[in-house]
Amino acid sequence: MTDTSKSSAEGIDVDELDIAPENGWNALYLDGEWLPAGDRDLIDVENPSTRATLTTVPSGTADDVDEAYAIAERAQPEWAQRPPQERAAIVSEARRLLGEYADDLETLFAVECGGVQLKAGFETQLAQGTMEVGAGLAMRDGGRRKDSITPGKENLLVREPAGVVGVITPWNFPLYLSSRVVAPAIALGNSVALKPDEHTPLTGGLVLAKVFEEAGLPGGVLNVVPGYGPEIGDHFSAHPVPSVMSFTGSSEVGRRVGRRAVGSYTEPALELGGNNAHIVLPDADLERAIAAGAFGSFTHQGQECISINRHLVHESLYDEYVAGLADRAAQLPIGDPLEEGALVGPVINERQRDKIVGFVEESIARGATVEAGGGHDGLFVEPTVLSGVTNDMPIARNEHFGPIAPVIPFETDEEAVRIANDTQYGLSGSVHSPDVARARDVADAMETGMVHINDQPLNDEPHVAFGGVGASGMGRYNDEWILDTLTTVKWISIQREPRQYPY
């Protein structure tokens, strides 16, 4: 394993980056102002490679949440009245600014959430893409006319902003997963209160505040309250002000957020966990399937809801697949994300590491064999390949969210589908076969929101519907599909001619 005792990130002062607010990050962003922490508790933002504190941010309170929603509620009507091209222009300018700050963002991704340079590039591009698509929504589908069954009547279906949108986002792809809601919400005339994860308050929230402030967004339209989920999360998600509550995170917490939102008559949009299967059929191109499998399991240390959680491989290819995947895993360079060439960085914290390691150890005790990796150093968990895995082992039953590749054999296509569907989750998946019709049959039978043929599940395109079924969430993100969440449709009818009533 790479020696991580000396980190290239040591000595970095994130408060001095060009993207930082003038007075540093230790502030809330409310009503267009950077409010100092005052007497609030502080959140230490730590570098997962070194465990060194990078900076501190205020730990928002319930009163701060109330204030953020009150400000957003006051600002939204005037913002909605702005011409759509003006709203779109501000989102487009925010997109441009992300490109200007790409180097700073690469540093922040590395030192705040352990993202290597490859991942940083992906995330910045995705965030820019979702802003581009979001800006376009401002000019789309303002309403339509429908014929009426009543003589002399005209039906108009008018789209209006939902109002105030609450957003809670996770630490793994913080900038993108915040942007994919914030950007279209603002473009469509909504205002936003955003609570980023406490591990990534900078890239998950305060960076967006800085960028939109520079883009010219009026005060109050976007408000950011960092804070600990257990302390303010329930109050944030159950608040009576927002019309929409968007949450991305674990299924366990998402169920709670959804229940509390609905209790306040707030529409939930939930993108939750996954247990995604990578199915390799007997006629698959083996090298292609292995390459896809390695990318889908080990990118960003497996810390993505759409990562491969289980490799299901036909028994005729099983041994070769395991050997090939293990060889690729063993060659992946591990190290500080700012080190040139590092492809595997640290996992986010000790709790996450211990969960991953625990699942591996429990599965080994039940008969799994380590073919590559299996160790860890601090928060650096080695890319690990396990053979002899069955679907009831902890590493297969649970969303492990780590750089672990459990490989499970199957005999028939029908058995592969049965194993893939034997989970509460239904987010994404992949199927490998040169016979696209055969692969499509398997894809159609998989109970997931997304399936990728001759690829791997780690796919997201800002103009394509994204979401799952079952414990993986409800609703869809991106383009026209999030339009349905972030707007409401009002039916206005006009009786143009006198109507004859029966009494």
CATH of the domain at 395: 3.40.309.10
Residue 23 lies in a domain: yes
Between β-strands 469-470 and 425-426, what pairing exists: parallel, antiparallel or unpaired? antiparallel
Q: 260 and 339, same structural domain? A: no
CB distance 124 to 100 below 8 Å: no
Q: Is 270 left (phi over 0), alpha (psi -120 to 50) or beta?
A: beta
Q: 52 and 28, same structural domain? A: yes
For residue 201, CA distances in Å to 48, 253, 444, 486 come to 14, 19, 39, 24
Q: 324 and 226, same structural domain? A: no
Q: Residue 64 and residue 232: Cα distance in Å, rounded?
A: 9
Q: Residue 200 and residue 180: Cα distance in Å, rounded?
A: 16
Output DSSP code: residue 299.
G
Q: 178 and 192, same structural domain? A: yes
Q: 352 and 231, same structural domain? A: no
Residue 5 lies in a domain: no
Q: Which of 207, 238, 272 is the last residue of a domain?
A: 272
Q: 178 and 118, same structural domain? A: yes
CATH of the domain at 267: 3.40.605.10
- State pLDDT tens for residues 239-273: 999 999 999 999 999 999 999 999 999 999 999 99
Q: 237 and 204, same structural domain? A: yes
Q: 170 and 125, same structural domain? A: yes
Q: 376 and 437, same structural domain? A: yes
Q: 215 and 199, same structural domain? A: yes
For residue 439, CA distances in Å to 123, 294, 414, 458 come to 29, 20, 12, 18
Q: 376 and 241, same structural domain? A: no
Q: Which of 251, 272, 293 is the last residue of a domain?
A: 272
Q: What are the catalytic residues?
A: 271, 305
Residue 463 lies in a domain: no
Let me know if 197 is exposed, middle or buried by CB neighbors in 10 A (0-12, 13-18, 19+). buried
pLDDT by residue, tens only, the chain of 503 residues:
444 433 444 568 999 999 999 989 999 999 999 999 999 999 999 999 999 999 999 999 999 999 999 999 999 999 999 999 999 999 999 999 999 999 999 999 999 999 999 999 999 999 999 999 999 999 986 678 999 999 999 999 999 999 999 999 999 999 999 999 999 999 999 999 999 999 999 999 999 999 999 999 999 999 999 999 999 999 999 999 999 999 999 999 999 999 999 999 999 999 999 999 999 999 999 999 999 999 999 999 999 999 999 999 999 999 999 999 999 999 999 999 999 999 999 999 999 999 999 999 999 999 999 999 999 999 999 999 999 999 999 999 999 999 999 999 999 999 999 999 999 999 999 999 999 999 999 999 999 999 999 999 999 999 999 999 999 999 999 999 999 999 999 999 999 999 999 99
3 state DSSP class of 390: coil
Sign (positive/negative) of CA torsion 447, 451, 457, 462?
negative
Residue 498 lies in a domain: no
Q: Residue 183 and residue 271: Cα distance in Å, rounded?
A: 17
Residue 312's nearest CA partner among 324, 302, 322 is 322
CB atoms within 10 A of CB 131: 29
For residue 464, CA distances in Å to 38, 117, 132, 268, 480 come to 43, 25, 13, 20, 9
Q: 354 and 225, same structural domain? A: no
Residue 501 lies in a domain: no
Q: What are phi and psi of 116, to 5 degrees?
A: -75, 170
Q: Is 31 left (phi over 0), alpha (psi -120 to 50) or beta?
A: left
CB distance 88 to 138 below 8 Å: yes
Q: Which of 434, 453, 472 is the last residue of a domain?
A: 453
Residue 173 lies in a domain: yes
CB distance 456 to 295 below 8 Å: yes
Q: How many domains are there within the chain?
A: 2
Sign (positive/negative) of CA torsion 350, 352, 356, 361?
positive
Which pLDDT score is estimated for 10?
A: 56
CB atoms within 10 A of CB 100: 13
Q: How is 309-364 classified by DSSP, letter by letter? A: EEEEEETTTHHHHHHHHHHHHHHS-BS-TTSTT--B---S-HHHHHHHHHHHHHHH
Residue 493 lies in a domain: no
What's the whole-model pTM score?
A: 0.95
Please give the residue range of the domain that contains residue 401: 276-453
Q: Residue 59 and residue 42: Cα distance in Å, rounded?
A: 5
Token pair 């083996």 is found at 286
Residue 184 lies in a domain: yes
